[in-house]
């Protein structure tokens, strides 16, 4: 038996559904699950061009936190974190969800000021947040170098104790299995090649490499490839797709029991249960769909990591990879309807989508099912016309 | 690592350059006449193709001049680089 068929039911696409979701990654699968679970819409098909959760869901650094500055962000990311806290029980799956704490380091006065501001903003929004002095930082994570004579001295840090990590593929399998059990069809290796257009240009489903699938509502949840799909219906979006690189070291004894992020020096680190150090970088500057980046980005990231963690000096690099992240000008996602009837959009999660997997699916399902979602409302495309941007560049505790 | 051919300096390592995003965007001739939708289009909407893409590069650690490129975003391979006063190659 295929190892994965223990989880979800392999499906052949039917000719039509109530909802077709384009993209079988974390957000697409959670959208399908909450459509079925929260709204009783089970006539749903998830089409995925590759294998399930083989895109950014397999390529991220699994960090979960909700310590965003702005109210709109705090609302959706904190809702997501609350869902994470009950998710293993809800899905009946071990997700290796570990609230080991996420620490965001501050290296200069500007960092300190914006970090303290963010701690206060988080608290006002009911998000747990603490400010740590360099001594507190060392107590919380003894291997961080807090000596003052380094290029980027640690002047303090914010700490979200409820933040942490989860096992990315188990999250996807958990949602896929639960959605499948509720009647959702998951169709892998089915690439969307076009859209079915009806009266007045209404989108009424998708053309795929496995045939036409008609649907009353079509939902794009395709991350880095969203612009490519949107171009098929003449929709131009405020998105640019970039490679985002990450890497793992060889396996080591447990040495790091929290998540450490640094905005200024562009590195974020945790240690997987197996023992690899998992590290992420900033995006490569250029647009790219090739799922690889330039090595100087890795070198820059390693220089930062070694200054912060001198103990990593002899660690060896095991492998590097890249995902394709779709970035909005304000570093916030787009979750909303489109100017085209029948077509909904969930994209632009950029460098931080994994943590939002439950909340994104929850809000998007609500929007598709009922036509409105309070969590998603600020994230519509119209914010680029009204100017009501949600500027999380630099404010979101990490560089984008 | 990309090898970028500056039209003036020749092929140089990517770390000498800064990326400038989509090329060929022009400031509106009559900005006050623009609707909110047209402003949004100018400020925020961008082409994002998987394939040939016209983009700007800046040789920051070289001649410090801007130039344009056509690069395939699916492979990251440069099709051509050309000066700002040159027409894009076909």
Predicted confidence at residue B88, as pLDDT, reads 85
- N residues, chain B: 90
CA distance A86 to A327: 29
What is the per-residue burial (b if ≥16 Cβ within 10 Å, else e) of A230-257?
Answer: beebebebbbbbbbbbbbbbeebeeebe
DSSP state letter for A201: G
How is residue A22 written in tokens? 């384009």
A5 touches chain B (CB under 8 A): no
Predicted confidence at residue A304, as pLDDT, reads 87
A151 touches chain B (CB under 8 A): no
Predicted confidence at residue A400, as pLDDT, reads 44
- Measured in angstroms, the CA of A381 and the nearest CA of chain B are apart by 10
3-state SS assignment for residue A395: coil
CB–CB contacts below 8 A, A to B:
68
Predicted confidence at residue A396, as pLDDT, reads 46
The pLDDT tens digits along chain A (400 residues) read: 455 557 899 899 999 999 999 999 999 999 999 999 999 999 999 999 999 999 999 999 999 999 999 999 999 999 999 999 999 999 999 999 999 999 999 999 999 999 999 999 999 999 999 999 999 999 999 999 999 998 889 999 999 999 999 999 999 999 999 999 999 999 999 999 999 999 999 999 999 999 999 999 999 999 999 999 999 999 999 999 999 999 999 999 999 999 999 977 778 999 999 999 999 988 999 999 999 999 999 998 898 899 999 999 999 999 999 999 999 999 999 999 999 999 999 999 999 999 999 999 999 999 999 999 999 999 999 999 999 999 988 554 454 4
Question: Tokens 């409105």 — which residue?
Answer: A372
- Nearest-CB residue to A287 (from B18, B53, B75): B53
Predicted confidence at residue B90, as pLDDT, reads 67
DSSP per-residue codes, A55-104: SGGGTS--EE----SSHHHHHHHHHHHHHHHHHHHHHTS----B---EEE
Predicted confidence at residue A2, as pLDDT, reads 56
Predicted confidence at residue A188, as pLDDT, reads 97
The answer to whether B45 and A329 are in contact (CB under 8 A) is: no
Residue B1 vs residue A342, higher pLDDT:
A342
Can you state the angle between helices A357-370 and A168-181, rounded to 10 degrees? Answer: 30
Whether residue B37 and residue A385 make contact (CB cut-off 8 A), yes or no, is yes
Bridge partners (DSSP) listed for residue A268: A261, A280
Whether residue B48 and residue A386 make contact (CB cut-off 8 A), yes or no, is no
A339 touches chain B (CB under 8 A): no
DSSP per-residue codes, A174-193: HHHHHHHHTT-EEE-S--EE
Which residues in A lie closer than 8 A to residue B14 (C-beta atoms)? 294, 296
Backbone phi and psi for residue A109, each to the nearest 5 degrees, phi listed first: -60, -40
Whether residue A385 and residue B43 make contact (CB cut-off 8 A), yes or no, is no
Q: What's the whole-number mean pLDDT along residues B11-37?
A: 96
Q: Is the dihedral of CA A354, A356, A359, A362 positive or negative?
A: negative
How is residue A238 written in tokens? 């405020």
């Amino acid at each position: 038996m295929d190892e994965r068929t223990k989880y979800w039911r392999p499906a052949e696409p039917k000719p039509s559904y109530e909802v077709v979701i384009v993209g079988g990654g974390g957000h697409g699968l959670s959208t399908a699950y909450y459509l079925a679970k929260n709204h009783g819409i089970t006539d749903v098909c998830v089409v995925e061009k590759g294998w399930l959760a083989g895109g950014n869901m397999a390529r991220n650094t699994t960090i979960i936190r909700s310590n965003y500055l702005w109210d709109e962000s705090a609302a959706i990311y904190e809702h997501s974190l609350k869902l994470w806290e009950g998710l293993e029980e809800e899905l009946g799956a071990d997700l290796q969800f570990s609230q080991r704490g996420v620490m965001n380091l501050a290296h200069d006065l500007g960092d300190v000021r914006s970090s303290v501001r963010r701690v206060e903003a988080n608290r006002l929004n009911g998000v747990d947040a603490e400010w740590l002095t360099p001594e507190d930082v060392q107590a919380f994570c003894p291997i961080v170098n807090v000596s003052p004579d380094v290029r980027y001295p640690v002047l303090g840090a914010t700490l979200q104790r409820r933040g942490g990590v989860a096992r990315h593929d188990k999250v996807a399998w958990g949602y896929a299995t639960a959605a499948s059990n509720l009647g959702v069809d998951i169709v892998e290796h089915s690439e969307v090649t076009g859209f079915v257009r009806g009266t007045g240009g209404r989108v009424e489903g998708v053309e795929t490499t496995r045939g036409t699938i008609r649907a009353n509502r079509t939902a794009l949840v395709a991350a880095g490839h969203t612009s490519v799909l949107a171009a098929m219906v003449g929709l131009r979006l405020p998105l640019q797709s970039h490679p985002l690189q990450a890497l793992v070291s060889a396996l080591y004894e447990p040495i790091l029991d929290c998540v450490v992020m640094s905005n200024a020096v562009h590195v974020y680190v945790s240690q997987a249960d197996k023992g690899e150090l998992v590290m992420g970088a900033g995006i490569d500057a250029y647009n790219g769909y090739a799922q690889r980046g330039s090595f100087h980005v890795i070198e820059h990231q390693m220089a930062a990591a070694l200054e912060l963690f001198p103990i990593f000096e002899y660690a060896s690099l095991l492998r590097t990879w890249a995902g394709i992240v779709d970035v909005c000008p304000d570093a916030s996602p787009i979750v909303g309807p489109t100017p085209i009837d029948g077509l909904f959009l969930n994209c632009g999660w950029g460098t931080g989508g994994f943590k939002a997997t439950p909340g994104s699916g929850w809000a998007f399902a609500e929007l598709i099912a009922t036509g409105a979602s309070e969590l998603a409302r600020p994230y519509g495309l119209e914010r680029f016309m009204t100017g009501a941007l949600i500027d999380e560049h630099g404010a979101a505790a990490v560089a984008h | 690592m990309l090898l970028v051919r500056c039209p003036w300096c020749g092929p140089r390592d990517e770390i000498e350059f800064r990326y400038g995003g989509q090329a060929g965007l022009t400031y509106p001739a009559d900005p006050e006449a623009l609707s909110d939708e047209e402003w949004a289009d100018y400020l925020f909407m961008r082409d994002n193709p998987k394939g040939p893409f016209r983009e700007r590069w800046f040789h920051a650690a070289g001649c410090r001049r801007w130039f344009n490129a056509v690069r395939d975003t699916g492979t990251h391979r440069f099709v051509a680089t050309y000066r700002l006063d040159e027409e894009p190659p076909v």
